[in-house]
Amino acid sequence: MEIKMLLTYVACLIGIVIIGKIFIVPIKIIFKLMLNSLLGVILLYVINLVGMIWGLHIGINFITAIIVGLLGIPGAILLTILAIFI
């Protein structure tokens, strides 16, 4: 009876590891996107504060949040360059 119990515990631990790996990867990706979005929005806000001196304004909306969320700080720089030239 003890061997069956030991095999059951081992099978449960293997199942927990497999399920953990399945769910941890998407959570890491979502966390990275949220962190990039947060840092990007803070950077856009700082750019807007400093840009008021020269009349530069970048709207913080859904599209800019997606761009900054996917690209991070380079996305905020890209939006700044686009705002200067457009």
Domain range for residue 68? 2-85
Total number of domains in the chain: 1
- In whole angstroms, give the CA distance from residue 54 to residue 50: 8
The answer, yes or no, to whether residue 85 has pLDDT greater than 80, is yes
Tokens of 75: 């996305």
Measured between alpha carbons, how far is 4 from 34 in angstroms, rounded to an integer? 45
Distance (Å, rounded) from C-alpha 42 to C-alpha 34? 12
Contact by Cβ (8 Å): 64, 58: yes
Q: Is the pLDDT of residue 1 over 80?
A: no
Give the pLDDT confidence score for residue 39 in this predicted structure: 84
pLDDT at 49: 92
pLDDT of residue 34: 82
Mean pLDDT over 71-82 rounds to 87
